[in-house]
Amino acid sequence: MSSPCVALLKVTGTTNGSEEIWTCKYKDSKYSKIFTLTGLPIGWPSIALMKGNKPNHTHDAIMIISGTTTIFDPSADIQNGHLNLNGRIPTFGKDESNQRRRRLRRAVGNRSTLAVRVIATDASTTSSEDEISDAIFGTFGDSVNVKSRYDACSFGKFRITPTSDVRTANGVYSVRINNVVTNANYDSIRDIVLDELVEEFGDLASQFDFVMICLPPGTIRWDGTSWHSFAYVNSYISVYNDVWCNYVSAQMREIGTNLGLASSGKEGSTENGDRR
């Protein structure tokens, strides 16, 4: 790797519960790619850093914070969507710009949201643009959705709103990819879709508070099994397996993950003792 990447905790909902995997978002020139982190050093996500070079010297501890901590290891092995640290402790830093966006994302007011429908060579997201917009934003009368729930929970102070970008239809944009999604790895398709979105819109994080990607049916996890939805802690990206994009339970869970609200009270992963 030639530059740092931002550590992101990926939380996936499956038929057997949830799975947490550390990843790293790496930006090379125009596009970003999210790698699965392997070969993590002992203690991750809390790493002891030695002061000096003698065994009896005291240690500093760093807590890896999703969406804020950056890691850099020029010797890391990168292949097949994985970034392998081979047990080494990388150089840590902080992504100040993402930290600022994280604070703004949690602030009161309207949160601009882009929903994405995907058209692949062998399948398309089952719901139409209008159906997705209705399921997420209540555009055509659906009264129970992520927009209405967060509006109610915040007493109208935190509002999930469809982007007003003229390239979208009521906050939904359809992206075409020249790829087969049946039995394709969901992370690979995610990266392809994100690249297409960057090609069309430019930097996503600077324009949208949330990007909700509704993949066509057929993609699978790393172990060949099915999945419901996933999101990254303290990020703007959430991804849904076809009709799961329409379910308010999945919408609430993944946007909550983006906001760092889920798993409250779990043993330390962030400064609030919250894994997300």
Ranking 3-7, 44-48, 185-189, 214-218 by mean pLDDT, the lowest is 44-48
Q: Answer whether 248's CB lies under 8 Å from 132's CB.
A: no
Model confidence pLDDT, tens digit, residues 193-236: 999 999 999 999 999 999 999 999 999 998 888 999 999 999 99
- Whole-number pLDDT of residue 99: 61
Model confidence pLDDT, tens digit, residues 100-145: 666 666 677 899 999 999 999 999 999 999 999 999 999 999 999 9
Q: Answer whether 85's CB lies under 8 Å from 39's CB.
A: yes
Dihedral sign, Cα of residue 46, residue 50, residue 55, residue 58 = negative
pLDDT of 269 above 50: no
Per-residue pLDDT band at 26 (split at 50, 70, 90) = confident
pLDDT of 90 above 50: yes
* Percent of the chain with pLDDT strictly greater than 70: 85
- Whole-number pLDDT of residue 103: 63
- Whole-number pLDDT of residue 140: 96
Q: Which residues contact 180 (CB under 8 A, 6 or more apart)?
A: 120, 121, 122
83 φ/ψ sector (left φ>0, alpha ψ -120 to 50, else beta): beta
pLDDT of 237 above 70: yes
**263: DSSP letter:** S
Q: CB neighbours (10 Å) of residue 3?
A: 10
pTM given for the model: 0.89
Per-residue pLDDT band at 55 (split at 50, 70, 90) = very low
Across 168-177, average pLDDT: 98
Q: Which comes out higher in pLDDT, residue 25 or 105?
A: 25
Place of tokens 């419901």: 228
Per-residue pLDDT band at 273 (split at 50, 70, 90) = very low
Cα(first)–Cα(last) distance of the chain, in Å? 26
- Whole-number pLDDT of residue 127: 98
* Structure-block tokens of residue 152: 């109610």
User: Which string of b and e fits 52-84 if b means at least 16 CB within 10 Å?
Assistant: eeeeeeeeeeeebbbbbbbbebeebeeeeebbb
